[in-house]
C-alpha cells in the first residue's frame, strides 16, 4: 500500500535519488535540493510516496507568484513530480498530485503552475496557461500549464509567473 506523507529530513537522500532516477539526470534532483533553501519552500507541500518503507515518489509544490499589472498573487509551482521508473504507471503520480492539490487548497492557494507534459498534466485539471493569460520566462507554450484549485481562480489573474532564480539553473 502506498502512503503519501510529508517529507522529513531523513528522506532527503531518498528524494534526491528518486528525482535523479526519474529524470535520468541531476538537474531536477539538484533543483529540489536548492529549493529547500528558498523562501518559497513550504515543508507541508513536499510530499513523498512510501511503500514498504521505501520512497517511490516525490512531489514538491513551491511558493511563487504571478505578477499582474496591479499586484503579486501568491501561487504554487509544481517544481518536481518524480516517480522511480520501476514504480511508474502504478498511480503513484496520481496519488501525489491529488494529495498535493488537496493540501495546497487547505493552505490557502488557488492556483498551481507547472512545466510538463500536457497529455499527462491535463488529466489532473491543468490547462495551457497562455489560454488564461499567464506566461513565464522559465517556460512557455504548451508545456507551461496551470490548474485552478477554486472555480474560476484564473479568471482575474493574468500576468507573468515569477520563479526564483534557482529554477533557471535547470
pLDDT in tens, 60-92: 999 999 999 999 999 999 988 999 999 999 999
Q: What angle do CA 108, 91, 139 make, to 5 degrees?
A: 55
Within 10 angstroms of residue 27's Cβ, the number of other Cβ atoms is 12
Dist CA 56 CA 47 (whole Å): 11
The residues, ordered by sequence, that sit 6+ positions from 140 with a Cβ below 8 Å of its Cβ are 130
pLDDT in tens, 15-53: 999 999 999 999 999 999 999 999 999 999 999 999 999
Dist CA 59 CA 82 (whole Å): 7
Domain that holds residue 24: 2-169
- Three-state secondary structure call for residue 3: strand
Say which CATH number the domain at 155 has. Answer: 3.40.630.30
What is the domain count for the chain? 1
Amino acid at each position: 500500500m502506498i502512503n503519501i506523507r510529508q517529507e522529513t529530513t531523513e528522506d532527503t537522500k531518498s528524494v534526491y535519488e528518486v528525482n535523479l532516477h526519474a529524470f535520468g539526470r541531476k538537474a531536477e534532483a539538484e533543483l529540489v535540493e536548492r529549493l529547500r533553501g528558498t523562501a518559497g519552500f513550504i515543508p507541508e507541500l513536499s510530499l513523498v510516496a512510501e511503500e514498504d518503507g521505501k520512497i517511490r515518489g516525490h512531489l514538491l509544490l513551491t511558493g511563487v507568484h504571478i505578477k499582474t499589472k496591479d499586484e503579486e498573487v501568491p501561487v504554487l509551482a509544481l517544481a518536481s513530480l518524480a516517480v522511480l521508473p520501476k514504480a511508474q504507471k502504478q498511480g503513484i503520480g496520481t496519488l501525489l498530485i491529488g494529495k498535493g492539490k488537496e493540501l495546497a487548497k487547505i493552505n490557502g492557494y488557488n492556483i498551481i503552475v507547472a512545466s510538463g507534459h500536457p497529455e499527462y498534466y491535463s488529466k489532473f485539471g491543468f490547462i495551457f496557461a497562455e489560454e488564461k493569460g499567464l506566461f513565464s520566462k522559465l517556460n512557455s507554450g504548451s508545456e507551461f500549464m496551470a490548474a485552478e484549485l477554486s472555480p474560476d481562480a484564473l479568471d482575474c489573474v493574468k500576468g507573468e509567473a515569477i520563479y526564483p532564480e534557482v529554477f533557471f539553473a535547470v
